[in-house]
Structure 1
């Protein structure tokens, strides 16, 4: 396919905003001054023996972009 015949992609502008949150581990949730329900559940799960955690999205670190 030559460069002249390559299809150009149209940019679609969406009115929808994306929300991003940082992933935090249980140590960060423990030190949080305003604990949320999701963080409390995650901390309790991580206190069990053999628990493996990958973190939870923190609502306090939310950014809209």
Structure 2
């Protein structure tokens, strides 16, 4: 799973950072930033919660289905 934050939508509420500080932080520009290239499996649920809780819907996730195919 990959996660991105749209800086044009982010209003720096910080909800994502509170929910999952291992993946999100407020950067020098004042907007949320993603700290990882790939979300660790054990943090996926928290990231999904951050997506739902983001008041401006600035966070999106993509899942590479081919990486999970056997």
User: How does the TM-score come out when normalised to structure 2?
Assistant: 0.28
Q: Taking structure 1 as the reference length, what is the TM-score of the superposition?
A: 0.29
Q: Which has the higher Rg, Structure 1 or Structure 2?
A: 1
Structure with greater strand percent: 2
